[in-house]
Structure 1
Amino acid sequence: MSDTLLFGHDGLARAIAVAFRAAGTPDDTALAIADMLVDANLSGHDSHGIQMVKYYLDCQAQGGLDAHATPRVFDESGAVVRIDGGRGFGAVTGAFAMQHGIANARKNGVALVALANSHHLGRIGRWAELCLESGMVSVHFVNVWGHRPLVAPWGGRKIRLGTNPICAGMPATANHPAFVLDFATSRVAFGKVGVAFDKGEVLPEGVMMDRDGAMTRDPGAMVDNEDGGALIAMGEHKGSGLAVLCDLLAGVLTGNGVGTPERQDGDTTINGMLSFVIDPDALGGFAAMESEIEALYDWVRSSLTAEGHDAILLAGDPERIAREDRMAHGIPLAAAAWEGFIEAAMLQGVTREALEQAVSSS
């Protein structure tokens, strides 16, 4: 078997939905999960794509999430919307939260959406992109508990923090695509460690330490060792501080809770997300802002490139480039990642033949 396989996005989504239906996930939810995961693969973020299927199915089987949960608004006052995700799949809770945030922002000019008790929300850029489809600006802070921490605080060598992502989106202008900034507050997301492990690759320098605090490029130091290793915060004290900020905003303000020791042994992922959704019409209208936005982008892109770089990229550009390529040529998956997915689906009673038929159907 080749080390890398190519899949069409529609077929991959069908196969993922088959696996979740077999596990007893409602059809609409299975389709939403498949769409979210394949969208991550299309965007070039394989760490948040099909690789997550086994983990999601394990969480569902072990009671770490509720496949039948219905998120609910339990408090709405003015611009503030508070939502309990019921430990439901993030593909459902994230969409629900953004739909309410967009509607509230249309009414009030701005919405503050506090989502608590959601299972893994996936690639957070997806939720900014959902806001962008309605012409909204958005900013998102996310925290996590339910499993061991993954990141050492600045100056430390023991895991204490989550990878706690931050995201922001600004709509496209006439001459420039949308700006979507989406980053973990660690130097890499933990899922990228898993991708490197599946591919038999080493990590970049300076992103992870082993259990003794020595820098390592071996992804197995965390993947193979439950008690070993720690990711490094991005930007030294800055990333560490932003990770704590995410816990304060997405954990404390939303009511989701933070990842202190008593919440670390559930072998699940519980996300809180605090989102600001802003209607540009409340601030004079987006059309009045476009010339300033375009002038900024043009100025930034006009820089001469540094050695090793072919172009100046803005946030969202790498995902667009990946999407165009993968829509045209297919989604590349490590053979180990595909086999891992098949094994997870077979545990739900799905045959290899059914999965291969799903990905090959036109």
Structure 2
Amino acid sequence: MTKQVGTLVDQAELFRFISEVLQAVGTPLAGASEMANQMVASDLAGHESHGIRRLREYAYRASDGFVNPAAIPTLEQDSGSLVSVNGNTNYGHLVMPFATDLLIERARQHGIAAVTVKNCDPAGRFADFCDHAANEGIAVFMFMNVGGGAIDVAPPGGAEARIATNPIAAGVPREGAPNLVMDMATSAVAKGRLADAQERGTEIESDWLNQSGVLVPLGGVKGFALSVIAEALAGTLSSAGTVGPEVADARQGVLAIGIDIQKLRPLAEFKSDVAKFATHLKQTPLEPGAPEIRMPGESTAINTKIRKESGVTIHPVIWERLVELADNFSIKLPEPKSGSQQ
């Protein structure tokens, strides 16, 4: 029997379905469109762990009252170059564009700025926010935690989870090619990617989990150190909360730092110098059988170009979730592309 591979769907149909589901749970049109764009971008980029597979989770968090998708972010503290944002329990996907635009504005005014965020739902991938800042000439670095919730990772040698995957992300402008954009969990693999692999029945890498079956930090003590710093800066500095004896709700904490490159040197020169050293690295002679060397952000651009033309394959497990959402909210399922297997 031929293994079922999934349903091929065009990005426009994915966008429509996501947007309509989010509107059905109270998200205003503009917010639903913004969030749909981010989720479709994840699927196009090959990061299915943060794409449409999360839609059921996001929809029910709103319909159950954990998320208020119509909430407006507010500023709790504002000293010019330092700002604290309260997401007021909205989706992180909608709070973070607000916070990123604010960071860009303040970095331009002051040369360097920092924005903290608390009290919002986890925002998925931060690569889009970092890329947006880099496109505006702002170098950015972001630390994230989950406010003391989403405890999935064991300290090195630990037999139980005590900390979240605590991602870090960065964006640096680059001339003539995708910006240098990094977005990575400080665990061996993102929790969403692990869950995605488990749902698909694909092999779990041997270095993802410890003997107790718990996620481990990326690179052992080094990844753990990064995770602890992220917990301190994103959780404590933002007042979002940190890990402790009592597991908290999964509300994201963020520290984002932005630097206006133009304040230090001409932006064009900076971008050119970044492109030059990136080219030097990419021209490194390869070992036998090794794939091409790619800079951070290049794989996303390549995958996106391919999938915009071919479409996105929805795994049967995820398709069943979409059927459930379509039934519950009376929304038409995404139309499969011609010849797509279901």
TM-score normalised over the length of structure 1: 0.88
Separation in 2 of the partners of 1:288 and 1:148?
A: 42
State the match for 1:199 in structure 2.
200
Return closer, same or farther for 1:5/1:359 CA change in 2, 3 Å cut-off.
closer
Q: Over residues 124-161 of structure 1, what are the superposed CA-to-partner deviations in whole Å (9 max), with x where a residue is unaligned?
A: 11110121231211100000136440001112121011
User: Which residue type is aligned with residue 137 of structure 1?
Assistant: A
Return closer, same or farther for 1:54/1:147 CA change in 2, 3 Å cut-off.
farther
Q: Secondary structure at the match of 2:166?
A: coil
Return closer, same or farther for 1:291/1:29 CA change in 2, 3 Å cut-off.
closer
Decide which of 263, 272, 278 is 1:282's aligned counterpart.
263
Q: Contact conserved, 1:80 with 1:113, CA < 8 A, in 2?
A: yes
User: Which residue type is aligned with residue 260 of structure 2?
Assistant: D
Decide which of 306, 312, 330 is 1:350's aligned counterpart.
330
State the match for 1:183 in structure 2.
184
Q: Over residues 272-330 of structure 1, what are the superposed CA-to-partner deviations in whole Å (9 max), with x where a residue is unaligned?
A: 11011111111112223234323311221121223442211111111111101111111
State the match for 1:302 in structure 2.
283
Q: Contact conserved, 1:79 with 1:105, CA < 8 A, in 2?
A: yes
User: Which residue type is aligned with residue 355 of structure 1?
Assistant: L
Q: Contact conserved, 1:40 with 1:48, CA < 8 A, in 2?
A: yes
State the match for 2:48 in structure 1.
46
Aligned residues: 336
Moved more, 276-285 or 54-63: 54-63
Q: Contact conserved, 1:158 with 1:230, CA < 8 A, in 2?
A: yes
Q: Secondary structure at the match of 1:137?
A: strand
State percent identity of aligned pairs: 30
Q: Contact conserved, 2:152 with 2:191, CA < 8 A, in 1?
A: yes
Q: Over residues 248-271 of structure 1, what are the superposed CA-to-partner deviations in whole Å (9 max), with x where a residue is unaligned?
A: 00000111111323243x4xx311
Tell me if 1:255 matches 2:233.
no
Separation in 2 of the partners of 1:117 and 1:292?
A: 39
Q: What runs of 5+ residues in structure 1 fail to find an aligned partner? A: 215-228
C-alpha displacement of 1:359: 8.3
Q: Contact conserved, 1:198 with 1:334, CA < 8 A, in 2?
A: no
User: Which residue type is aligned with residue 168 of structure 2?
Assistant: I
The equivalences for 1:17-32 within 5 A come to 17-32=19-34
Q: What runs of 5+ residues in structure 2 fail to find an aligned partner? A: none
Return closer, same or farther for 1:262/1:359 CA change in 2, 3 Å cut-off.
farther
Q: Contact conserved, 1:15 with 1:358, CA < 8 A, in 2?
A: no
User: Which residue type is aligned with residue 293 of structure 2?
Assistant: I
* Structure 1 ranges of 4+ moved more than 6 A: none
Return closer, same or farther for 1:146/1:255 CA change in 2, 3 Å cut-off.
closer
Q: Over residues 160-214 of structure 1, what are the superposed CA-to-partner deviations in whole Å (9 max), with x where a residue is unaligned?
A: 111100111111213x3310011100111111122112222121121013xxx34
Q: Contact conserved, 1:11 with 1:359, CA < 8 A, in 2?
A: no
Separation in 1 of the partners of 2:336 and 2:291?
A: 39
RMSD value, Cα = 1.9
User: Which residue type is aligned with residue 201 of structure 1?
Assistant: T
